[in-house]
Structure 1
Amino acid sequence: MSDAPGTSRSWMRPAEQRWGLGEVALGFLLAQALAVVATSIAMGVAGWTESSDIPLWAAAVLQIPLWGGYLTAVQLAGVKGDGVVRDFGLDVRWRDVAPGLAIGVAVQILVLPLLYLPILQLTGYTDDDLSAPARALSDKASGPVGWILLSLIVVVGAPIVEELFFRGLFLRSLQKRGLPDWASIVLCAAVFGAVHFQPLQFPGLFVIGLVLSFMAVRTGRLGLPIMTHVGFNATSVVLLYVNS
């Protein structure tokens, strides 16, 4: 972490960027392809017949191919430009920590319940349906080691990788194409929600995606979005642990 002064948008020079949506498309395709292939091989070798059979340690390992696809695209784009730190604003400062965590917790425990109150009433779904994907993962966590591993996946790994790819590479590529900031924010949030492939969870993912994308545009860095993402995901893990 740093707390060095600097102009937040000094690294954003869209006209000079030699990377763009091509690297984004590559990242999407590579991440999904590697994840599918790795999961298929692992299930075949281990004899798992359904995804629910995959233990937590294996689920953690199988995130590596998915994240590898995203990070490969980020790295390739960084090589074409001035590097990941400068081009995508990978700059976390101490002053990002407290407000970022607080905003992430607030969105999770205050905003999302209000958001889903009318949605659940209109659709007939329940809170159990809404939390089913998270519970499926937490059910695999047995004992302290399992919960530590789950936390590393959800609270540490996912925020860093996803912010680099979505709010770093993808959002900046949309801006490079000439989209106004508001359109880039909305589109980035929509795609972020959609690629989780969980229709009922999409509204919540879209909302947190809006918050994270706005922060990235407003500050010109990924520090605040990363810490907000950490707070958001950490709250989910804590709630799952308390209710397990």
Structure 2
Amino acid sequence: MSTAGPPEAASEPREPIPARSGLADTSAAVAALPTAPPPPVPRHRWGFGAYLLVEAVFLGSSLLLILPYLGRGHSTPPPWMLLVSLAVPTILAATVALLATRLRGNGPRLDLGLSFSVADLRIGVLFGCAGLVLTLPAAAIWSKLVGPTNANSAVAELFANQHFTVPMAVAVFLVVALVAPICEEIVYRGLLWGAVRRHAANRWWAFGLTTLCFALAHFEFSRTPLLFVIAVPIGLARFYTDRLGASIIAHQLNNLLPAVSLLLVLLGVIKQ
């Protein structure tokens, strides 16, 4: 017995189901709407006062660390104290700079341009290598003009005639090659740069003043012209990217060879 329906019902054409285009049309219409521009970043409320405070922290902490060794017949601090006196003041200074942006601004990423990208790495390596090409012959010429003693950096003088254990020597290397460039960039081409930009719209003013202050703030006045030359490519990395990532990479490349040399001296591999 057949259970099929009547032929008319089996052959009757069905109505097409309408496409559910309403949701798609609505999504397309929403996507086509003009988007509002992002709100402007609020202007930070810190300036040159914050930079002067950071410098005071650096100088004050440096003095407190070396004060116990003054007036002891020029006694040399132990290796661990030399490492502390090298690392702590600059880390404290950078920490105060970061706090200033947190408490009086929009944070270090927005206020200081403290961010990293692949492009920053490429540009930092480019300016860092260009800086080495520029500064290595400049350092040789300066050493001929003022003599090797006056051409030495304060760090080299601090660790002169010292012999460290391998862990201590590696720690000094890491501070000179990696940590110090990060901290110095936060202070000079971060905080000071932002203070200048707050009062002067032209970035060349920020570039020039931070380059000069970087050279003078090392208090190595026999090397100030050389330090100015060293600071130029680092500052240009900051100028062309408007971020600290590239200038940090360039600064670390600039410090790499002196850090390796210092490491070998502290390990007794080469004589100073």
Q: State the TM-score bracket (shorter-chain normalisation).
A: 0.7 to 0.9
Q: C-alpha separation between the residues in 2 aligned to 1:81 and 1:206?
A: 30
Cα deviation, residue 105, structure 1: 4.5
Amino acid at match of 2:225: P
What SS does the aligned partner of 2:173 have?
helix
Q: Number of aligned residue pairs: give it.
A: 227
2:147 aligned with 1:135, yes or no?
no
Q: C-alpha separation between the residues in 1 aligned to 2:53 and 2:39?
A: 23
What SS does the aligned partner of 1:142 have?
coil
2:182 aligned with 1:160, yes or no?
yes
Q: C-alpha separation between the residues in 2 aligned to 1:243 and 1:134?
A: 17
Q: 1:101·1:230 contact (CA, 8 Å) conserved in 2? A: no
Cα deviation, residue 178, structure 1: 1.2
Picking from 17, 24, 32, the partner of 2:44 is 17
Provide, for residues 176-216 of structure 1, a one-character-per-residue CA deviation record: whole Å limited to 9, x for no partner: 11152222211111111111111222122212222222221
Cα deviation, residue 142, structure 1: 2.4
2:90 aligned with 1:69, yes or no?
no
TM-score (norm 2): 0.72
Cα gap change, 1:139 to 1:180, in 2 (>3 Å): farther
2:243 aligned with 1:221, yes or no?
yes
Q: C-alpha separation between the residues in 1 aligned to 2:127 and 2:183?
A: 20
Picking from 94, 100, 105, the partner of 1:81 is 105
Q: 1:193·1:202 contact (CA, 8 Å) conserved in 2? A: yes
Quote the residue 2:191 is aligned against: 169
Greater RCO, CA 8 A, separation 6+: 1
Question: Identity percentage over the alignment?
Answer: 22
1:1-244 correspondence to structure 2 within 5 Å: 16-41=43-68, 43=69, 49-50=73-74, 53-62=76-85, 63-97=87-121, 99-101=123-125, 103-108=127-132, 110-116=133-139, 118-121=141-144, 123=145, 125-131=146-152, 133-136=154-157, 137=159, 139-178=161-200, 180-240=202-262, 241=264, 243-244=270-271
Cα deviation, residue 40, structure 1: 1.2
Instruction: Identify unmatched segments of 5+ residues in structure 1.
Output: 1-9
Which moved further from structure 2: 55-64 or 228-237? Answer: 55-64
Q: C-alpha separation between the residues in 2 aligned to 1:151 and 1:201?
A: 22
RMSD (CA atoms): 2.9
Instruction: Identify unmatched segments of 5+ residues in structure 2.
Output: 1-37
Q: C-alpha separation between the residues in 2 aligned to 1:84 and 1:36?
A: 28
